[in-house]
Structure 1
Amino acid sequence: MPEPEPGPAAPHPATRPGRKLGPVADTVGSTHNSLLAPMRAAYLTSGLTLNDLSARVRLSKSKLSELLRGAGLYPRWENIRSLAVELRVPQWPLYRLWRQAAIEAHKSREWIERSSQGATTALTTSHTPPLEHRAFRETNEGDYSLYAQVFLNDEQRDSAVSDTFDILWLRWNDALASPDVRRYAWMVLRTTVKSRTPHLDGRPEFAAAAFDSVALQQLTEASARMSQIAESLELFTAMSRLPDRQLDVMVLRRLCGFTPDAVSALLGVPLATVRSDERHAIHFLESVICPPPPTGRNGA
């Protein structure tokens, strides 16, 4: 899962003795990677070694290395929690991501409940995110849902938006240190939504949204509905070829009904950038959907 826009570079911790932490395993899913990222960052800045952690959490160094790399079997919550306590990573958003990642790893509900039984009671006092995070969520959650529903069904939309704010909670200090919190948060949302959107040849498939579009719902005649479906499918297929930011602007402007000023505020980019992205996107879509007629050798 690509990382959001980084903030100012943090000072490198002093070189620690022992084996270096390896990279995240290639088999790790997007949500699992989202919970590993803040734990790995906390470990790398803590000054602790795997040997130090092993003595504190009572897991072998090899097991800790596997856990921080996402290698081996999907971990039980008690192991994640014990490491989070030592690294001072907020447990509640981590637990929610752990549950979602377990579902994506095809773990049964029984396994999830059994693996976290007895360990969740300590979470009851850690449900409150920072005040600024709560305010940001209250301001943007509805708009994030409108964007996500273009790509995902209702259940996936709610999960993606909820996971986005959990990831932001875990990375809130990084978000505050970034050039623009809104831009940082939007990149987390976009990455989370795209990771759950079906893709074909590397392009997001969101044609299902055509059947929920406002224009389609307003049509009553079957022939008109079929025509609108065909037009929407063609448009959405063309839109899937747009660069990320142009696609975001077109989705927010044309499918969600946001004004240019609202899009600018939501994405954390200048209004001029929004207008430029929309203009270039429209030019591309018109060239694909309604290409100019071919000309002869003499321009006829």
Structure 2
Amino acid sequence: MTGGLDLPAAGGVPPRRPSRRLEISFEAFHEFHARKWLEYARLHTGDALGAEKLTQAVYQQLADHWAHVLLQPSVDSYAWTVFKEHIAEWFLNNGRSTAAAQTAALTAVARVLLRKYGQQLALLDDRTGPRGGMSRLPERQCDVVVLRFVIGYSEDRIGALLNVDATVVRSHARHAKRRIVAELGGARGPYEEG
């Protein structure tokens, strides 16, 4: 994966070997995100092989331009944008709608919340189903709840990926939970907190 860290040099000069530090920093980035981004892609595409190819293409693009990536104000946010662009391209190339992908991802969120809160959310699948209010969450709220409750990122890491403060992440999560509760007819419970 790190063999692609060679960047074309200006003026036709052959590319230099990347520094070992570049390789190490990319390897660390890849190691930290690889499993989680693969799961995110799998949830959204519904295709394990497609998700694997998609994430490999993302990491190859990032590796090929890693020196440039490191110059960005936020490496995580820049890389996440590249990742989301690859996902959008996958949907376009495969004739799939992003709404269907969001529904699949939010179904996984519902399962996690059901395990966590048990009977308090037992009505979730019956009342919202795949076409309920959860599928109409704004993209940022959807990303936050998927990244937090299914993928397992911390609020700080989600903030770094989305280039927002952790308080904004908490706000998105809170609004998404309220929307889910509203779909349940205003039921209240601990899942509505924070």
Q: Please give the TM-score of this superposition, normalised by the length of structure 1.
A: 0.44
Q: Is the 8 A contact 2:22 2:67 kept in 1?
A: no
SS at match of 2:43: coil
- In 1, distance between residues paired with 2:15 and 2:138? 34
Is residue 2:28 matched to residue 1:143?
Answer: no
Q: Which residue of 2 aligns with 1:133?
A: 26
Classify 1:276/1:208 alpha carbon distance in 2 versus 1 (closer, same or farther; 3 Å).
closer
Q: Which residue of 1 aligns with 2:62?
A: 168
SS at match of 1:149: helix
- In 1, distance between residues paired with 2:63 and 2:103? 32
Q: CA deviation at 1:144?
A: 1.1
Q: Which residue of 2 aligns with 1:246?
A: 141
Q: CA deviation at 1:207?
A: 3.9
Residues 170-208 of structure 1 deviation map (CA, whole Å, 9 limit, x = unaligned): 332332121100111111112212332421xx6343444
Q: Please give the TM-score of this superposition, normalised by the length of structure 2.
A: 0.63
Q: CA deviation at 1:136?
A: 0.9
Bigger fraction of residues in helix? 2
Classify 1:255/1:212 alpha carbon distance in 2 versus 1 (closer, same or farther; 3 Å).
closer
Count of matched residue pairs:
166
Aligned-pair Cα RMSD in Å:
4.1
Q: Which residue of 2 aligns with 1:118?
A: none
Is residue 2:129 matched to residue 1:233?
Answer: yes
Q: Counterpart of 2:140 in structure 1: which amino acid?
A: R
Q: Which runs of 5+ in 1 are unaligned?
A: 1-38, 48-85, 91-124, 219-226, 293-300
* Of 156, 160, 171, the match for 1:276: 171
Q: Counterpart of 1:274 in structure 2: which amino acid?
A: V
SS at match of 1:159: helix
Q: Which residue of 2 aligns with 1:255?
A: 150
SS at match of 1:233: coil
- In 2, distance between residues paired with 1:250 and 1:216? 10
- In 2, distance between residues paired with 1:230 and 1:156? 30
Percent of pairs with identical residues: 25
- Residues 199-238 of structure 1: matches in 2 within 5 Å? 199=97, 203-208=99-104, 210=107, 214=111, 230=126, 233-234=129-130, 238=133
Q: CA deviation at 1:167?
A: 1.5
Residues 246-284 of structure 1 deviation map (CA, whole Å, 9 limit, x = unaligned): 221011123334442443355453211211221233334
- In 2, distance between residues paired with 1:278 and 1:212? 12
- In 1, distance between residues paired with 2:171 and 2:31? 29
Q: Which runs of 5+ in 2 are unaligned?
A: 1-6, 116-122, 187-194
> Which has the greater radius of gyration?
1
Q: Is the 8 A contact 2:112 2:150 kept in 1?
A: no
Q: Counterpart of 1:282 in structure 2: which amino acid?
A: K
Q: CA deviation at 1:169?
A: 1.8
- Residues 23-102 of structure 1: matches in 2 within 5 Å? none
- In 2, distance between residues paired with 1:285 and 1:145? 26
Is residue 2:190 matched to residue 1:190?
Answer: no
Q: Is the 8 A contact 1:145 1:158 kept in 2?
A: yes
Q: Is the 8 A contact 2:108 2:150 kept in 1?
A: no
